[in-house]
């Protein structure tokens, strides 16, 4: 089932390439379909949305039925039990508290001779979110995407989510959206939802940025519209890497590996350990825990395809390899984890110690769980307040401070043979 090998025996670069390219071949066959949907929505707006929503989700859709109405929110609250509402509100509170600490203010630096330089930080005007529906209903992802945007100061936050065959969106999704400050919701799913937010239709506004997880159609569409609109990141299947030594609890390790494997057949679960004893215990226990899962078929395929136990001689070697993989999540189930924290550079989120299991971060820890995957943690960050802000530079010279660098600016412009640049400065000296 899960593959147990020595880390030194594998071609590490080939392993990393396999890890980061999961799903690429599968995605290729969907590209023409998504391209057609995106082009159709861009050109035909609501008419295209009606066509695809009727085809894929809700046969009775009409143009005036896309936007969720007040009475639908009221119905969602009435159908959601009090305990679920309490947990959603707790998550909103904790996620908000964490992201409030990320806010950055504009700043100004007054130099000598009247020069003022600075940076102005503004929230985006309008952001579009995607919330999966159908088999995958994740109110937690609504919270983890919407709250950083609201804390950043986004005033108009819209959301698209696919309806069921009766034209309904999951009550838990609607409650989570309302509690998180989403201002309007549209019953549209798939690539057509992404295209509608990227280009705008008669009903759905064009946004500045699209964020949130989705299936292969959604992710391909986000890549295709990037440039017309910003996106949060290029998302792939979930993944976890556990770095463990002899102090780790094998039962905990197996449970955590399976917590990611149950997401999707393309998910990846990797254990890197310095303890052969632990490796053998994990291998032995994995099938037993797997058989207890309702989603065992999905988890089994994930483990068989992308599950590994890699035995290494040293934690340093394991961390070096982890930085090559750049996984979505890393768990440090090791003695003295603080010694190694500074050496881990490429990861979406780090969980420290035997009691910091990844699902805590998925729901209530505080940081957004929308994280870079497929090796993109080398250059992407988790969704955060900065995801929904933009910055501009402030440059303010008076005459005296301008004169101090005028001649050198002219020389630099002449070096690049940009005479109009040079003249722009010269005319100020001449006058």
Residue 116 neighbours by CB under 8 Å, 6+ apart: 108, 109, 110, 394, 396
Could you tell me whether strands 126-130 and 156-160 are parallel, antiparallel, or unpaired per DSSP bridges? parallel
Q: CB-based burial of residue 1 (10 Å sphere; 0-12 exposed, 13-18 middle, 19+ buried)?
A: exposed
Instruction: Cite the active site residues.
Output: 328-329
Q: Contact at 8 Å (CB) between 376 and 234?
A: yes
Residue 29, SS3? coil
Rg over CA atoms, the chain: 25
- Which token pair is 214? 């989705």
The rounded distance, in Å, linking the Cα atoms of 267 and 312 is 23
Virtual CA dihedral for 143, 372, 127, 142, nearest 10 degrees?
-20
Query: Which string of b and e fits 161-199 if b means at least 16 CB within 10 Å?
Result: bbbeeebbbbbbbbbbbbbbbbbebbbbbbbbbbbbbbb
The rounded distance, in Å, linking the Cα atoms of 249 and 192 is 46
The rounded distance, in Å, linking the Cα atoms of 76 and 171 is 4
The rounded distance, in Å, linking the Cα atoms of 215 and 193 is 12
- Report the phi/psi class of residue 336: left, alpha or beta, with left for phi > 0 and alpha for psi in -120 to 50: left
Residue 392, SS3? strand
- Which token pair is 427? 């005319």
């Amino acid at each position: 089932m899960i593959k147990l090998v020595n880390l030194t025996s594998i071609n590490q670069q080939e392993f990393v390439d396999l890890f980061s390219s999961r799903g690429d071949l599968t995605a290729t066959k969907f590209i023409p379909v998504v391209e057609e949907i995106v082009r159709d929505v861009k050109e035909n707006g609501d008419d295209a949305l009606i066509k695809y929503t009727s085809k894929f989700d809700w046969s009775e859709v009409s143009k005036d039925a896309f936007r969720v109405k007040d009475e639908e929110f009221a119905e969602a609250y009435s159908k959601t039990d009090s305990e679920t509402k309490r947990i959603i509100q707790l998550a909103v509170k904790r996620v908000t508290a964490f992201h409030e600490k990320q806010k950055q203010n504009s700043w100004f630096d007054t130099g000598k001779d009247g020069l003022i330089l600075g940076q102005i930080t503004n929230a985006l005007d309008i952001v579009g979110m995607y919330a999966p529906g159908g088999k995958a209903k994740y109110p937690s992802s609504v919270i983890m995407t919407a709250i950083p945007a609201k804390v950043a100061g986004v005033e108009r936050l819209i959301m698209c989510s696919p309806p069921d065959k009766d034209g309904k969106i999951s009550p838990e999704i609607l409650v989570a959206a309302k509690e998180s400050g989403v201002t309007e919701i549209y019953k549209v799913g798939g690539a057509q939802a992404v295209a509608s937010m990227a280009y705008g239709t008669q009903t759905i506004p064009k946004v500045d940025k699209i964020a949130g997880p989705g299936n292969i159609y959604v992710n391909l569409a986000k890549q295709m519209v990037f440039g017309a609109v910003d996106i949060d990141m290029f998302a792939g299947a979930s993944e976890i890497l556990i770095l463990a030594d002899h102090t780790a609890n094998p039962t905990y390790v197996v449970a955590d590996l399976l917590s990611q494997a149950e997401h999707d057949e393309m998910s990846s679960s990797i254990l890197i350990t310095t303890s052969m004893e632990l490796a053998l215990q994990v291998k032995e226990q994995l099938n037993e825990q797997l058989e207890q899962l309702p989603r065992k078929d999905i988890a089994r395929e994930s483990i068989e395809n992308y599950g590994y136990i890699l035995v290494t001689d040293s934690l340093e070697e394991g961390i070096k390899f982890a930085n090559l993989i750049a996984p979505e999540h890393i768990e440090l189930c090791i003695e003295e984890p603080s010694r190694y924290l500074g050496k881990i550079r490429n990861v979406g989120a780090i969980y420290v110690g035997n009691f910091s299991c990844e699902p805590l971060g998925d729901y209530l820890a505080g940081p957004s769980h929308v994280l870079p995957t497929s090796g993109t943690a080398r250059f992407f960050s988790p969704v955060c307040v900065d995801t929904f802000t933009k910055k501009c530079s402030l440059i303010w010279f008076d005459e005296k401070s301008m004169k101090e660098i005028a001649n050198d600016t002219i020389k630099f412009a002449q070096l690049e043979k940009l005479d109009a640049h040079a003249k722009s400065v010269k005319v100020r000296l001449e006058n």
